[in-house]
Amino acid sequence: MKMSDIPFALTQWQDIEPVRHPGEEGYALWRSAQFNDIRVRIVEYSAGYKADHWCLKGHILFCLEGELHTELEDGRTFLLTPGVSYQVADNAEAHRSSTQTGAKLFIVD
């Protein structure tokens, strides 16, 4: 990831209107900021959320609150809890997320 032509600035996340994205079950609320080719998000998943697709986009995820289950298409599973992150490259390993209790993440992609 090359970060260029981004001046120093603060992001007031509470001022960004959340956008609701339905999952196969539950929903996600995204607050997004775009910096050239880099998208930065705070995402809140409802209790009972399950993604409606396998994702091939690369991300860096950091769990702020709750628990997020991540399943890879090959069957491996991982649990993110507060203070735990993961990173995956574009088109590297298809993944999808779910949560029973809800979760809040900081995501860069």
pTM summary value: 0.92
Output b/e per residue, 37-49; b: 16+ Cβ within 10 A: eeebbbbbbbeeb
Laid out side by side, the sheet with 85-88 consists of: 19-22, 27-35, 38-45, 103-108, 59-66, 85-88
* pLDDT one-digit tens code per residue, 59-106: 999 999 999 999 999 999 999 999 999 999 999 999 999 999 999 999
What is the pLDDT, as a whole number, of residue 29?
A: 98
Report residue 24 as tokens.
Answer: 């196969």
The three-point CA angle 44-35-56 to 5° equals: 60
